[in-house]
Amino acid sequence: MRHSIIIWALAATMVAAELPQADPRVVLTEQVRVEIATGAVTAIHDPRLFWLLLMQSRKPVLIAFTGEDCPTCAMQAPHLEAMAKARTDVTVVAVDAGVSRDLAWRHGVRTVPTNVVYLNGRLLDSRAAGLTADGLAAFVDTAAANAAMIGQKSPVKP
C-alpha cells in the first residue's frame, strides 16, 4: 500500500512538471480582449496565449478543437458563435488542431471536433462530438456543476 502511494505521488509530480507554466511576460493582445468582451469566438494558436487565457480567465472556458477539412466542425461553427454571443459568462475559444498540434496532443485530441471545458485553469471535461448551441451550453453547465459538487469553488480564482 505504501509503495503504491509513493508511486502515485511520483507520477502526479511528473505530470505536474510537464504542464506548461504561463509566462508572466506574455499578455493577452487587445484583439483577444475585445473578442472575449464582445462575445466572439476567439481563435488562438499561440500556446503561450492559450495557457495565459486559461490561467487568467475568471469564468469557464470552452475550447473547441477543430479541423480545416472537418465537415462536423463546419456544422458546429455557427453553434459556437451562438454560444459565445448568448453566454457572456463563458469564454469560447477555437483551436485548429492541425495548426496547434502540441495543444491538441496535450489534450488527447484524437478526433475533431473535440470540446474541452476549463475552470480556474483546471480541465473539467472533454467530449469528442459536434454539438449544437444547446448541447454546448449543457456540456459547460454540467462540467461546472460537477466541479462545484467535488469542491472546486466559484469560477473566480482564489
Tens-binned pLDDT, residue by residue, of the chain (158 aa):
444 333 333 333 333 444 455 444 445 566 666 566 667 888 888 888 899 888 888 899 999 999 999 999 999 999 999 999 999 899 999 999 999 999 999 999 999 999 999 998 899 999 999 999 999 999 999 999 988 887 755 443 33
- Tell me, yes or no, whether 59 lies in a domain: yes
Q: What is the Cα–Cα distance from 90 to 113, expressed in whole angstroms?
A: 19
Domain count, the chain: 1
Residue 155 CA neighbour count, 13 Å, CB half? 18
Q: What is the Cα–Cα distance from 99 to 52, expressed in whole angstroms?
A: 18
- Tell me, yes or no, whether 4 lies in a domain: no
Rounded to 5, what percent of the chain is helix, strand, coil?
Answer: 45, 15, 35
- Tell me, yes or no, whether 154 lies in a domain: no
**Element (DSSP H or E) covering residue 107:** none
DSSP E strand stretches across the chain:
42-43, 61-66, 91-96, 114-119, 122-127
pTM assigned to the model: 0.76
Q: Give the CATH number, domain containing residue 52.
A: 3.40.30.10
Q: Is 13 exposed, middle or buried (0-12, 13-18, 19+ CB in 10 A)?
A: exposed
Residue tagged 495543444 (cell numbers): 103
Domain of 143 in residue numbering reads as: 22-149
